[in-house]
Chains A and B, each alone.
Chain A
Amino acid sequence: MKKQSKILNWLEERFDLSGINKFIDKKVVPVHKYHFWYGIGGIAMFLFVVQAVTGILLLLYYRPSADNAFESVEFIMTSVRFGWLIRSIHSWGANLMIFVLFVHMFSTFFMKAYRKPRELTWISGVILLVLSLAFGFSGYLLPWNKLAYFATKVGTEMASLVPFVGKEILIFLRGGEDVTGATLTRFFGFHVALLPAITMIFLGIHLLFIQAQGMSVPPSIEEEYKKNPKSIKFFPDFLLRDAVGWLVVLGLLGILAALFPWELGEKADPFASAPQGIKPEWFFVFLFETLKYVPPKILIFEGEVLAILAIALGVVFWMLVPFFDKRAQLNKPSPLFTAIGVTLVLYIIIMTAVSYLFS
C-alpha cells in the first residue's frame, strides 16, 4: 500500500489528478432488482479484449493468401504449442461475444435505457453490434475452408441485390467479380485493421457516454428507486463484481475450447461444388431463413431485393428507436415497444430453431 501511494504521490507532483480522483470517488452504480444486467456490457467488452489478444497472437503465424491461409491455420493448430487453444478461444470468443452483445442490447432495450438523455449511447451501441457482425463475417473467411468460402460467396452476393450500387458494393467487398485470394486479402485487411480502428472509435464514444451519464434506472422501478436510492461505488466494488463475471466467462471459454475445439474443415476449392447443409454463422441464420420464405416476385419487384431493403430499414428503425418511442421519452410505460422487442426476440429464436431443426 505504501509503495502504491508513493507512485501516486510521484504522479500527483507532476500531473493534476484531482479531476480523475474526484470522478473515481464520485462514480456509483445503482443497486436494485435489475442490477445484474449492468454487468453484461462489461462482459462484452472483456470478450472484445480476449478477441484482440488472441487475434494478435494468431497474427504471428497466420498468412493471408489463398495458397497459405488454410495451411497456416493448420500449422497453428497442429504444430504451434497451444495453437489449438488460442485459435479455439478466438473462434468461441467471437461467437460468445456476439451472443453477449445481443443479450446486452435486448436487456438495455427492455429496460428502456435508450430514453433521454442516452439516445446516442444506444445508437453507438447498435453501430458496435453491426461492426461486431462485420468482424464475424470477415473473420469467418480467414481460415479459407470450404464452408467459409461458400458462406462468403452467398453473403457477398446478397450485397449485389442492393438497388443501383449493388454491383459496385459486391466488387468492393470481393476485390473483383468472384471470391478469390483477393477477397481473402481484403477481408484480412478489414478484420485486422479497418474494423478494429472504427470499433475503437465507437467503443470510446460508447464508454465515454456511459461514464458521463452513469447507469440508467429502468422507468418501471424509477419512482420506487428514488424513494430508497441504494448504490455501490464503481471503483472498486462494482469493478470487482464485474471481474468475477469475467473470470467465469474466461473459464467457460477455456472449457469450450478444450472440450469442443473449433474445426478447421477442408481447404476451400473454388471449383468444387458447395457442400451439403451449408449455412452462415448462427447469428445470420434467422436472416438466411427469412430469405427462404420470400417469394421470387412481390408485385413487380424482386422479392429478395424487397427483403434486403426491409432488413436494412429494420436496422435503421432499431437504431432510431429512442426517437420513435415517445412514451418512453416521457418516462411513461411504452408497451408497444416492449411488444416489438419481444416479437423480435421470438422471431430470431424461432427462425434460428426452424433453420437448424428442419432444413
Chain B
Amino acid sequence: MKEEPEQTTRRNFIGWGLITSLAAFLGMLFYPIVRFIIPPTVAESSQNSVVAAKVNELQPNSAKIFPFANKPAILIRLASGEYRALTAVCTHLQCTVQYRSDFNAIWCACHNAKFDVNGAVISGPPPAPLDTFEVNMSGDDIIVSKRA
C-alpha cells in the first residue's frame, strides 16, 4: 500500500516555527546562565620551590605544615636531624595528614592511615604513597622544591 505524504498545513508550519523559536530563545537564555554557574578554572600554581622553614625552627622528631603551590605540605625533622618534605594531602580522601612523634610516622586522622617518613603506605586505606619533595639549605632557609 502506498502511503500518502503528510500534508503540511499553514497552522502546522507556524506552530513548528513558534516551537523552534521558543527553543532557540530558551537556549539563548540558559546558555550564559549555565556557563556562569560552572566555575572558571583557576590556573594551577606554577610554584616550584618555597622557603618552608628556618634552620633550627624545628626540633628533632617534629614537623610543620606549610603551604606549597596552594596545597598543604609537611616538613619533618627526623630524630637524626635529617629533613624530609612530602605532600600533606592523603591519597585516600584528600585529608591533611600530620606527623606523629610517638610512632615516628605520618598519620591521617580521617581514616587512621599511616605512612612512613618516605611517604610509603604502612597501613590503612590509601591507594598510593605520598609524593616527596627535595629539601635543600640556603643560608638560614630550608628550601623545599618539586623533584625535576
Contacts and interface: CB of A to CB of B under 8 A. Distances in A.
A57 B35 contact: no
Interface in A52-100: 53, 57, 60-61, 79-83, 85-86
A57 B40 contact: no
Interface of B: 32-33, 35-40
Contact of A79 (B32, B38, B40): B40
Residue from B36, B39, B40 with most neighbouring chain A CB atoms (10 Å): B36
A82 B32 contact: yes
Contacts of B35: 81-82
Nearest to B41: A79
Contacts, number: 26
A79 B38 CA distance: 11
A80 B40 CA distance: 6
Contacts of A53: 33
Contacts of B40: 79-81
A217 B71 CA distance: 68
A57 B32 CA distance: 11
Contacts of B39: 61, 80
Provide the main secondary structure of the chain A interface: loop
A85 B32 contact: yes
Nearest to A76: B36
Given A57-B33, A60-B36, A80-B36, 19 more contacts: A53-B33, A57-B36, A57-B37, A61-B39, A79-B40, A80-B39, A80-B40, A81-B32, A81-B35, A81-B36, A81-B38, A81-B40, A82-B33, A82-B35, A85-B32, A85-B36, A86-B32, A86-B33, A86-B36
Contacts of A85: 32, 36
Contacts of B36: 57, 60, 80-83, 85-86
A80 B38 CA distance: 8
A73 B40 CA distance: 14
14 contacts: A53-B33, A57-B33, A57-B36, A57-B37, A61-B39, A79-B40, A80-B39, A80-B40, A81-B35, A81-B36, A81-B38, A83-B36, A86-B32, A86-B36
Contacts of A83: 36
A4 B15 CA distance: 16
Contacts of A60: 36-37
B62 to A, nearest CB: 33
A251 to B, nearest CB: 11
